[in-house]
Amino acid sequence: MSKHGTFFWSELNTGDIEKAKAFFGATIGWTFATMPNGDPNYWIAFNNGIPQAGIVPLSMFSPPGAPPHWFSYLAVDDVDKRLEALIAAGGVILRPPFDVPDVGRIAIIQDPTGAPMGWMTPVER
């Protein structure tokens, strides 16, 4: 069960997926597979068979000119409900909630300082 308010997932947005996979495979021991739906643009990094992070092309979600970076997702108990509090507290919804099958419900937000992140209500396993 995912704990509300804890970091749940991270994605590496990079222009060189193969180089990133080689690096994290050699230094951390991660193994990799594409999403179960076969999307060649989304790689899952595994540590001892447990999903740890995603790796995506920099151009998939990032604006032109953005440098490679890690993007974090916070687990929340009810993403739709929490967005009401986000707006009231001065945050911005960058991408309204959407569902990812077998993953969860996700919204991309920006806090009042301007920092973006994802909030998600993960599918419980």
Shared domain check, 47 and 29: yes
Residues 80 and 61 in one domain: no
| Same domain assignment for residues 19 and 56 | yes
Q: For 26-40, what is each residue's pLDDT tens digit? A: 999 999 999 877 777
Residues 55 and 23 occupy one common structural domain: yes
Within a domain: residue 3? Answer: no
HSE-CB of 14 using CA atoms within 13 angstroms: 17
Task: Give the span between the Cα atoms of 11 and 24, in whole angstroms.
Answer: 13
Last residue of a domain, one of 24, 46, 70: 70
Whether pLDDT at 43 is above 90: yes
The verdict on residue 2 lying in a domain is no
The residue segments making up the domain with residue 89 are 76-125
Supply the mean pLDDT for the chain. 93
Q: What share of the chain is helix, strand, coil (3-state, %, to 5)?
A: 20, 45, 35
Q: Is residue 1 part of a domain?
A: no
Total domains, the chain: 2
Q: Can you give the pTM of this predicted structure?
A: 0.86
Per residue in 57-75, pLDDT (tens digit) is: 998 888 889 999 999 999 9
Give me the pLDDT at residue 124, please.
Answer: 83
- 80-117 pLDDT per residue, tens: 999 999 999 999 999 999 999 888 999 999 999 999 99
CATH number assigned to the domain comprising residue 113: 3.10.180.10
Strands of 104-110's sheet in order across: 31-34, 43-47, 50-57, 7-14, 69-75, 116-122, 104-110, 92-100
Alpha helices in the chain (DSSP H): 17-27, 58-61, 79-88
> pLDDT category, 1, cuts 50, 70, 90?
low
| Domain co-membership, 82 together with 43 | no
Q: Output the CA–CA distances (angstroms, integers) from residue 124 to 16, 19, 96, in the order listed.
A: 32, 32, 21
Domain shared by 21 and 52, yes or no: yes
Would residue 62 count as lying in a domain? yes
Residue 55 and residue 82 in one domain: no
